[in-house]
Each structure stands twice: as structure tokens, then as C-alpha cells.
Amino acid sequence: MANSNSALVTKLLLIVVGMFGFGFALVPLYDVFCDITGINGKTNETAAVYYDGQVDESRTITVEFITRTHTGMPWEFRAQTKKVKVHPGEMNMVEFYVRNPANKSMVAQAIPSVTPGQAALYLNKTECFCFNSQPLAAGGESLMPMRFYVDPQLPEDIHFFTVQYTLFDVTGNGTDDKQLNNPFLTSFSDN
């Protein structure tokens, strides 16, 4: 009986270890699930390809832009356009203003979130400041563009959705130095 006990205990311990691993596996699974389904308002994290199909002029969608900065983040951050009416399929550009009032260079990362979450799958950004972290010298300011189109497949019942950007301070998170020296980003933050 001692043998059958230890065999069973081994199996049960394997379940325990497996479930501990499963708890952590939920983290990537969650991201994959949200990417595929678009729930949770997560938008594409890399540039989408340009849309070359038909623009659906029969529908008008209102897209609203909200900005906020995370607790402790001193930057000024606002959308130059608060609301824009678009036709599904047409390209649009909006700009966001940022200023770093601190007396040191900082790096920021904007995280988007779309409400209602289902609309996130149909918001295609071909260019976005949120794809990369954004360095800004002390006192520097910048206009950051975002180009997007709304997929004509957007469900019929959605006429209005909100895109919210939250700006986080990521200074000192390891990748900054490289990015601070990135010529593209430096010139970008100079305009």
C-alpha cells in the first residue's frame, strides 16, 4: 500500500505543480485571447496596413478621444481633436499635444483602451505614437500624430466609440537610453 500511496501522491503533486504553472500561463493566454477577440478594448500594437477598399459613406461613426496621465506622471497631455466624425474605410489623422514640464528628460508610454471593447478590433491604426515609448527633453513639447481608419466591418449597432490614452512614466525602464539616442524619435520630439 505504501507504493500505491506514493504513486498517487506523485500524481496529485503533479496536478498541483501543473495548476501553479497554469496560473502563470493565464497571463499570456489572457493576452492572446484579448488580441484575437478584441475584448478588453486592446487595440493593435503595431502598424496596420492601409485600407484600399471601399469607403462606406452611408455610415458615420463618431470617435471620441480622451487623454489622461497616470498618477505621478507630470506631463501635459491632450488631444487636439476631441471628437471626429468618420466614415468607415476612410483615413483620418488626429494629433495629440504633449509637454514635459519636468526639469529632466523623461520617457513616456501611451496605452490605448477602447470603449465599448468590441470596437477595438475595428479601429486600425496605421501610425501611432503609442507603438513606441516617447522620450522628451526637459521642458520639451511635441505634437504626436495618430493615423487610423475604422474597419467597415464594424458592427451595425456601434455608432460611437471612445479611445482613451493613458500616459505612463517609463523613464528608467531599461530601453530608454537606446530610444533617447534614436535619431527618428529625437527629431520627432523636436517638432
Partner 1 sequence: MSKATEIISPAHGDAGAHDDHHEHHIPKGLMRWVLTTNHKDIGTLYLWFAFIMFLVGGAMAMVIRAELFQPGLQIVEPNFFNQMTTVHGLIMVFGAVMPAFTGLANWLIPMMIGAPDMALPRMNNWSFWILPFAFTILLASLFVEGGGPAFGWTFYAPLSTTYSGDSTALFVFSVHIMGISSIMGAINVIVTIFNMRAPGMTWMKMPLFVWTWLITAFLLIAVMPVLAGAVTMVLTDKFFGTSFFDAAGGGDPVMFQHIFWFFGHPEVYIMILPAFGIISQIIPTFARKRLFGYASMVYATASIALLSFIVWAHHMFTTGMPVAAEMFFMFATMLISVPTGVKVFNWVATMWRGSMTFEIPMMFAIAFIVLFTIGGLSGLMLAITPVDFQYHDTYFVVAHFHYVLVTGAVFSIMAAVYYWIPKWTGRMFDITLAKWHFWCSLISVNVLFFPMHFVGLAGMPRRIPDYALQFADFNKWISLGGFAFGLSQLIFLAVMIKACRKQGEPVSDQVWDGAEGLEWEIPSPAPYHTFETPPVVK
Binding site for partner 1 (CB under 8 A): 1, 4-5, 8-9, 12-13, 15-20, 22-24, 26-27, 30, 37, 39-41, 70-71, 109, 111, 115-118, 166, 168-170, 173
Question: Between residues 92 and 118, which has the closer beta carbon with respect to partner 1?
Answer: 118
Burial class (CB within 10 angstroms; exposed 0-12, middle 13-18, buried 19+) of 11: exposed
- In DSSP notation, 31-86 reads HHHHHHH-GGG---SSPPPPP-S---TT--EEEEEEEEE-TT---EEEES-SEEEE
- State whether residue 86 is helix, strand or coil: strand
Give the shortest CB-16-to-partner 1 separation in angstroms: 5
Is the distance from CB of 105 to CB of 135 less than 8 angstroms?
A: yes
Give the shortest CB-90-to-partner 1 separation in angstroms: 26
Question: Between residues 68 and 82, which has the closer beta carbon with respect to partner 1?
Answer: 68
Give the shortest CB-22-to-partner 1 separation in angstroms: 7
Question: Between residues 72 and 183, which has the closer beta carbon with respect to partner 1?
Answer: 72
